[in-house]
Structure 1
């Protein structure tokens, strides 16, 4: 379960970044029109070139932030190679953002299976049909693959593909930013040496 939510006024006196994140996410779920759980995931490719894309947060607790993807995709390969990633949540209507940096682990098979079975049937078919990030010769080729797997699985259960699972980002840094007039924004950063260590907190110049 997510950590206990906190109030969201002046956040400078908060010492628990997970609880503060929960409060901000709850605000976003009430006020953001589309995808309040959207986040940018940043990775680095084998040549050291940064890469970033939007995904959806599918769960969080004190162990970290979870999302699911094809492990053979660009982000999957880059995360598996580096073992680390960064996240950014930006809620424009609230004028807030949260930056997360940390180490990454793969979720358990049980977690991945449970989430996969909760997805719409078409999305489960798509996980089999799409060779995510690989070159696609035509839209027709993708539609053909979807049709093939739709026929293969019929009306029965669709198993989770072996290459499809989730990642958990275990943060070692979480920064909270809140817009203020004249660009004198509030910034609080929480840091720890490893995912089991105690957090320290620092206010930053905007």
Structure 2
């Protein structure tokens, strides 16, 4: 059967992977996140550190895209991007963001809200030079989010740059940057049978985490 606009409403399955009890929760949400991230990794979920990042432009229009989580602490999460990109322009105007980790193979999501601030130059430099060399080159080649006339432009620029720096260190692009997300809330969603999902949200008040169960 092919999928089309007339039959997609029937696509569904039951969520039977597991459940989330109050007794499973940790005092700090990042501890539970770390447990779930490890379980996603060992479940061989593709790109377990991939997260959907939502930003809002100056008109209030939301945008979403997938970026990779590159580090986390008890209160913060880190990602990197081109500072000329659409997302970076949004963040300069409105630093509030939301994240979603869609671990569908194990019927889980983690939803996060927070506020971003820029990383230091030292942190950005360190991260840039841990990237594969071809990725460093692509950072220079792509004028991220800008309109281009063809893919050949990117391919040719990439090959030219690669040849130029074949035996040289790639220079650091001043437009490359990163952000830390100061976490305000973190919600853990575990799919359950009959759509009676388990949902718990950690919300930070006065430097303390309060935990609430949410109705599915």
Question: Which is bigger in relative contact order (C-alpha 8 A, separation at least 6)?
Answer: 2
Deviates more, 1:78-87 or 1:139-148: 139-148
Question: Per-residue deviation at 1:85?
Answer: 0.8
Moved over 2 A (4+): 8-11, 147-154
Q: Give me the whole-angstrom Cα distance separating, in 2, the residues matched to 1:161 and 1:189.
A: 39
Q: Which runs of 5+ in 1 are unaligned?
A: 1-7
Corresponding residue number in structure 2 for 1:57:
69
Corresponding residue number in structure 2 for 1:4:
none
Count matched residues: 197
Question: Per-residue deviation at 1:120?
Answer: 0.9
Q: What pairs up with 1:13-92 in 2 under 5 angstroms?
A: 13=23, 14=25, 15-92=27-104
TM-score, normalised to structure 2, is 0.86
Q: Give me the whole-angstrom Cα distance separating, in 2, the residues matched to 1:193 and 1:76.
A: 28
RMSD: 1.7
- 1:13-34, CA deviations, whole angstroms, 9 ceiling, x for partnerless residues? 3221010000000000100331
Question: Per-residue deviation at 1:139?
Answer: 1.4
Question: Per-residue deviation at 1:10?
Answer: 4.0
Q: Which runs of 5+ in 2 are unaligned?
A: 1-17
Question: Per-residue deviation at 1:111?
Answer: 1.5
Q: Is the 8 A contact 2:79 2:178 kept in 1?
A: yes
- 2:136 pairs with 104, 116, 124, which one? 124
SS in 2 for 1:158: coil
TM-score, normalised to structure 1, is 0.90
Corresponding residue number in structure 2 for 1:147:
159
User: Which one has a bigger Cα radius of gyration?
Assistant: 2
Corresponding residue number in structure 2 for 1:162:
174
Q: Give me the whole-angstrom Cα distance separating, in 2, the residues matched to 1:109 and 1:9.
A: 42
